[in-house]
């Protein structure tokens, strides 16, 4: 059963296949020879394989986190670091940005470059120069170039607090008081998705492993005040 969204029908899909694994990502690959070299058209462009292939799986190999708290003379520092290892994601924002020429990776070859590969019709090494605009326009209709490793490590939360000493409150009806600064989603320590958040998914349902024009994961900063009477 096809579990992908209609807007991705020609680019990437999640299938539930007998004998497969939930979360398998299917899409078009680039044609290669046995040694892994790209096969190219006479114009020096990569060739798409018409049949869909499995390109990865949206599920992580494992997930983990570290939480710790330190305290000293009324001050405390708490943090949480999360890690997701493995899993794949289709980065539609990178595809669109590269095709539109708005991402840094699209700068290469603006004046022309030669794609490394073999011309299919001749079996010879490619020497045909192409423009970046035409190259990325062609690659935008393929799925394989936009499948990324979703591994990431992030500072999920940081809290710095101060507990007011009891002697300061001795002449007040307040039994205890604490003020804290809290920040969430503060720092992407490591990611392979070129400045985009691999967790900014298209859906929380079956359409896992899709990112396409998603809003960035929000960063929040705030204060907590806890008072006991």
Residue 68: phi, psi to the nearest 5? -150, 155
107: DSSP letter: G
Whether pLDDT at 65 is above 90: yes
Q: Does the pLDDT at position 229 exceed 70?
A: yes
For the chain, percent of residues with pLDDT exceeding 70: 90
Question: d(Cα 144, Cα 110) in Å, to the nearest integer?
Answer: 22
Which among 28, 36, 22, 21 is positioned nearest to 55, based on CA atoms?
A: 28
- H helices present in the chain, as ranges: 92-100, 132-139
The CA distance from 63 to 224, in Å, is: 29
Full-model pTM: 0.81
Cα four-point dihedral sign 18, 21, 23, 28? negative
Average pLDDT, the chain: 87
146 has a pLDDT exceeding 50? yes
Question: Is 93 a residue whose pLDDT tops 70?
Answer: yes
Least confident segment among 11-20, 63-72, 141-150, 164-173: 11-20
């Amino acid at each position: 059963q096809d579990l992908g969204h209609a807007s991705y029908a020609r680019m990437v899909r999640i299938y539930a296949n007998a004998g497969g694994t939930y979360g398998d990502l299917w899409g078009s690959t680039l044609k290669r020879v046995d040694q892994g070299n790209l096969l190219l058209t006479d114009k020096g462009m990569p060739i798409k394989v018409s049949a869909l292939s499995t390109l990865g799986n949206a599920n992580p190999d494992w997930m983990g986190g570290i939480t710790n708290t330190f305290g000293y003379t009324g001050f405390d520092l708490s943090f949480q670091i999360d890690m997701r290892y493995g899993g794949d994601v289709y980065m539609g924002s990178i595809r669109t940005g590269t095709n539109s020429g708005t991402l840094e990776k699209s700068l290469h070859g603006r004046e022309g470059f030669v794609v490394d590969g073999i011309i299919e019709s001749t079996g010879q090494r490619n020497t045909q120069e192409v423009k970046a605009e035409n190259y990325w326009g062609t690659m935008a209709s393929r799925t394989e170039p936009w499948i990324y490793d979703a591994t990431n490590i992030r500072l999920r939360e940081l809290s710095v607090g101060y507990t007011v000493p009891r002697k300061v409150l001795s002449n007040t009806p307040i039994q205890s008081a604490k003020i804290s600064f809290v920040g969430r989603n503060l720092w992407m320590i490591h990611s392979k998705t070129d400045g985009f958040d691999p967790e900014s998914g298209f859906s929380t349902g079956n359409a896992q492993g899709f990112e396409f024009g998603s809003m960035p994961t929000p960063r929040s900063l705030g204060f907590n005040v806890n008072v006991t009477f």
